[in-house]
Structure 1
């Protein structure tokens, strides 16, 4: 099994909703940062190697025909080279709204990790996550304007890497129709998944917070 659907959008652009949608469409299981947490003994060393410049995508995505969110989003160039026939989805949203959401969730958790706000058992995972986030263009220390600029730069970089014929630039609020048309699957009857607001984010990471 090889990757067929690859999300290049960063966290807080609806990536968890997209993961659920891909699974509902029968194109999963879909990899997401949550999978790293659930399968940390197997996944974390593989991603640590990837951050160090030695990715083994075959092992990372073994059993996953689709992947979204970080860490995947930090490797769009490498993944396009490894899976040149895959379909890529660039989730996005208004840059300022994204910066506010990212700053109040993922970026805040990274800053907490720097000051001892994450339990010791989770520090290796946090170090990997922070390295991937920095690799994508979002090191700690950016203000709101800096985050917006980096977000837009990531959008430009993905569009410059992936041919337009293989790339869907997509907001999850658009729902099923553009996603299903791009993936070549029927539109489901039910509503598009809508999940992982800021409160849900903190509920998910609560076990890691000191």
Structure 2
């Protein structure tokens, strides 16, 4: 473990993840963490994790960013004390607007696909871990724990407390506070890397729910494709059933 990214989602984490890949790191984003390291987060959530288990699970990972590491960055750093910590952050009002816009961008079709994940291999565990994470970090409850409430003060408070805690508790010589517009120089200086001859990446400009792109975990891609097929089949069955009911009523 070389770099622990402790910043909340919607603070430029997708751009930072791509930047760290360009610098040669093996990066585990939220989907990699939930699908490849689910056993570790399950132990974190039920209180049975040990330092030895954390080390064995993460010794071959270079970078964790977004997702579960946001909640458990401190425990992980206690095991990997030489790891650098990057806190991505932004103005809390713009952060909340981006966070809210992400959820508002979820279409009815995507919501139905997520519901179908409950019946797909791996899908139920993925959603369960997402729900546990959001409940732990932000106090989000309700069906699947995926929809935010209408209380912006709750989210801004959690965001502010998290950033303050990281700044207070992370070792000063191991911490970099990074804004999305800071570019390559502070990151490369902090990590002892040469500045690449490419522009600093700007991923997920739309602020939408990042589910499927080139860096997406193959297991998540498979899950999305399976739910697409399942949704199509449900639509066909519903259409046939509707036609049959109409035929019975008017024949």
Q: 1:128 aligns to what?
A: 129
Contact 1:7-1:91 at 8 Å conserved across structures: yes
Contact 2:28-2:64 at 8 Å conserved across structures: yes
**Residue 156 in structure 1 maps to residue 157 in structure 2:** no
Question: Partner of 2:194: helix, strand, or coil?
Answer: coil
In the TM superposition, what is the alpha-carbon distance from 1:31 to its structure 2 partner?
Answer: 1.1
- The number of equivalent residue pairs is 202
Question: Partner of 2:85: helix, strand, or coil?
Answer: strand
Bigger CA radius of gyration: 2
Instruction: Pick one of 207, 222, 237 that aligns with 1:198.
Output: 207
Q: 1:99 aligns to what?
A: 96
State how far apart, in whole Å, the 1-side matches of 2:17 and 2:88 are: 11
Q: 2:15 aligns to what?
A: 17
TM-score, normalization by structure 2:
0.70
Instruction: Pick one of 167, 176, 182 that aligns with 2:190.
Output: 182
CA RMSD of aligned residues (A): 2.9
State how far apart, in whole Å, the 2-side matches of 1:139 and 1:114 are: 17
Runs in 1 of length 4+ with deviation above 3 angstroms? 106-109, 113-117, 202-206
In the TM superposition, what is the alpha-carbon distance from 1:178 to its structure 2 partner?
Answer: 0.7
In the TM superposition, what is the alpha-carbon distance from 1:142 to its structure 2 partner?
Answer: 6.1
State how far apart, in whole Å, the 1-side matches of 2:111 and 2:47 are: 23
Matches within 5 A, 1:56-75: 56-75=53-72
TM-score, normalization by structure 1:
0.83
State how far apart, in whole Å, the 1-side matches of 2:78 and 2:156 are: 27
State how far apart, in whole Å, the 1-side matches of 2:79 and 2:66 are: 18
User: CA-to-partner distance for each residue in 1:71-121, whole Å, 9 max, x for gaps?
Assistant: 111102211211122110000111111112222326987xxx999953213
State how far apart, in whole Å, the 2-side matches of 1:108 and 1:59 are: 38
Question: Partner of 1:172: helix, strand, or coil?
Answer: coil
In the TM superposition, what is the alpha-carbon distance from 1:24 to its structure 2 partner?
Answer: 0.7
Structure 1 residues 97 and 105 mapped into 2: Cα distance closer, same or farther (>3 Å)?
same
Contact 1:4-1:66 at 8 Å conserved across structures: yes
